[in-house]
């Protein structure tokens, strides 16, 4: 029964992450107006805001105008619920919250190739809540160094957010786990962007890989 409730709570977080990242991409307030269809702007009724069930009941379409709701919404709600079921104690709770934060950043990055910089700093205390001052100091220095250096680079080979995520992941999970995680993310990016000739958002692939390795383990 506890697993069921964890899944319900997690699916709500997945829905929230999807909605707020969409508002970020459209430069809208995360608080107002109330939830609505992005096409016809019709406010959603309470029964249309239930994660997973609302999507299935509406058969993936807006009840008012019939516009297709992106499948991404359903996938994120299911993934958010599944992720929450891995919580077994305080340590895993913090790791799951950290993954939720970077999932939000990844969705923003996929839509705009930017994300709120506060996510990096929020993820630091969440992930290293019980770590010693040495690890806290390394993480803070890593983030601070990137924030100071990256604005002065004309054409960096990798985004600052990607590098921030990589550094924090390495501190939390170690070098070997980071190597496998990065290899998976890069292979995903290469396979899914074979025809692309411009810059791609790497953060979504880093996050998908991180979620995959977390759920697998």
**pLDDT of 1:** 55
d(CA 72, CA 103): 13
pLDDT surpasses 80 at 197: no
pLDDT surpasses 60 at 195: yes
Residues 6+ apart with CB under 8 A from 178: 166, 169, 170
**pLDDT of 184:** 97
**pLDDT of 34:** 86
Average pLDDT value for the chain: 92
Report pLDDT digits (tens) over 53-101: 999 999 999 988 989 999 999 999 999 999 999 999 998 999 999 999 9
Write out the two tokens for 155.
């054409």
Q: What percent of the chain has pLDDT over 90?
A: 72
Of 33, 34, 38, 77, the closest CA to residue 54 belongs to: 77
**pLDDT of 31:** 83
pLDDT surpasses 80 at 171: yes
Report pLDDT digits (tens) over 1-18: 589 999 999 999 999 999
Highest mean pLDDT among 149-153, 178-182, 196-200: 178-182
Q: Would you tell me how many other CB atoms lie within 10 Å of the CB of residue 56?
A: 10
Report pLDDT digits (tens) over 108-144: 999 999 999 999 999 999 989 888 889 999 999 999 9
DSSP 162-207: HHHHHHHHHHHH-HHHHHHHHHHHHHHHHHHTTT--S----HHHHH
Can you tell me the mean pLDDT for 27-43?
A: 87
Can you tell me the mean pLDDT for 147-167?
A: 91
């Amino acid at each position: 029964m506890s697993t069921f409730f964890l899944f319900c709570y997690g699916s709500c977080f997945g829905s929230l992450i999807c909605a707020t990242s969409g508002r970020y991409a459209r430069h809208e307030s995360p608080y107002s107006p109330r939830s609505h269809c992005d096409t016809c702007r019709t406010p959603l009724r309470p029964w249309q805001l239930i994660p997973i069930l609302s999507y299935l009941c509406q058969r993936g379409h807006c009840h008012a105008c019939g516009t297709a709701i992106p499948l991404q919404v359903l996938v994120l709600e299911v993934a958010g619920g599944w992720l929450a079921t891995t919580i077994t104690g305080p340590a895993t709770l913090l790791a799951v919250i950290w993954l939720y934060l970077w999932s939000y950043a990844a969705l923003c990055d996929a839509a705009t190739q930017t994300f709120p910089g506060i996510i990096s700093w929020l993820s630091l205390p969440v992930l290293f809540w019980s770590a010693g001052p040495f690890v806290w100091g390394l993480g803070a220095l890593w983030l601070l160094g990137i924030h100071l250096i990256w604005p002065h680079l004309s054409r960096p080979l990798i985004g600052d957010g990607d590098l921030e995520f990589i550094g924090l992941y390495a501190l939390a999970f170690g070098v070997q786990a980071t190597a496998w995680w990065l290899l998976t993310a890069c292979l995903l990016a290469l396979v899914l962007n074979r025809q692309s000739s411009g810059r791609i958002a790497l953060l979504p692939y880093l996050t998908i890989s991180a979620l995959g390795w977390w759920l697998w383990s």
